Amino acid sequence: MNTQYNETTAKKILTEAKGYLDVGFTHSLNPYSGCGFSCLYCYVREMPIQKFKDQPWGEWVDMKTNAAANYKNEIQKLRKKSKPVHIFMSSATDPYQPIEREANITRGLLEAMIEFPPDFLQIQTRGPLIKRDIDLLVELKERCKLLVSMTVETDREDIKRIFAPYAPGIKLRLRVLQELHDAGISTQASISPVLPFTPEFPKVLEGKVDHIWIDTLSIGDGSMGKRSERLGMPQLFRENGLEKWYQKNLHVKVEKYFKKYFPDEMVRVSKDEAFLK
């Protein structure tokens, strides 16, 4: 993927949570705009930030160079109002873009959070680069509630290559999940969106995660499946002979399957508000 990187400054870095994030999270935080991983199913492709852009999704990434400074200002203001701060990082990008290795924007944010911790931070990523920041995460978990959620849509590399050819490999993500877990950091495997997997998938996750999150293209795209349809997902499943995996009630079946291997309280399904409270 030929991605163009641009430095930018953002007016604000914390965005008040809306829609599906409006349960449990008070704010989303996107250190970047755009995403070099360019997953074919990504619902952000259907959002205004991409719809009004003249470059294809995946080919542009804006780096918010003032993210840490903004965060420090904004959290101090929120603290003056005694408001709880539960952050989801990130909802419309991945905080561990490959350029993060040099840009250090997410790392700068973690440093700022150690100084001014939120009440809760969930990091949502599929970037193995998060391993670099284990030192900061270990420190941060002593200052606030922290959950690292690694997207593992499937345990099959061949399936990942169809749906997210530019995203990091599954084995690499699993290895990093193990390292995070071994470092005492609370971890989650986000099977989101559920893609076809092998029967061994639950066993692959054993000992690596504290939680499992299940979400599908039908219930997790913010429009009950309409965005996924516009992105051509039903066709892509069909073209690859995978249509039996594209079902409205897939989350029910997957939840049942994973609960055979994990205690009920470990397995959560999108829109399961109980977990977020």
Binding residues (CB under 6 A) for ligand SF4: these are: 35, 37-39, 42, 44, 93-94, 126
- Find the shortest distance in angstroms from Cβ 233 to ligand SF4: 13
- Find the shortest distance in angstroms from Cβ 126 to ligand SF4: 5
Q: What are the angstrom distances between the C-alpha of 178 and each of 22, 195, 203, 267?
A: 30, 21, 13, 18
Please state, in angstroms and rounded to a whole number, the distance separating the CA atoms of residues 5 and 115: 29
Residue 228 and residue 248 in contact, taking contact as beta carbons nearer than 8 Å: no
- Find the shortest distance in angstroms from Cβ 58 to ligand SF4: 7
Q: Which is nearer to ligand SF4, 19 or 207 (CB)?
A: 19
Q: Which is nearer to ligand SF4, 91 or 104 (CB)?
A: 91
Q: Which is nearer to ligand SF4, 94 or 133 (CB)?
A: 94
Q: Which is nearer to ligand SF4, 73 or 270 (CB)?
A: 270
Q: What are the angstrom distances between the C-alpha of 4 and each of 52, 62, 63, 95?
A: 17, 8, 11, 16
Q: Which is nearer to ligand SF4, 44 or 214 (CB)?
A: 44
- Find the shortest distance in angstroms from Cβ 11 to ligand SF4: 21
- Find the shortest distance in angstroms from Cβ 93 to ligand SF4: 5
- Find the shortest distance in angstroms from Cβ 143 to ligand SF4: 27
Host H or E run for residue 212: strand 211-214
Cβ–Cβ contacts within 10 Å for residue 239, how many? 11
Which 3 state secondary structure label does DSSP give 108?
helix
Q: Three-state SS across 216-266? A: CCCCCCCCCCHHHHHCCHHHHHHHCCCHHHCCCCHHHHHHHHHCCCCCHHH
Look-up: residue for tokens 């804006």?
Answer: 62
Q: Which is nearer to ligand SF4, 161 or 203 (CB)?
A: 161
CA end-to-end span of the chain: 39
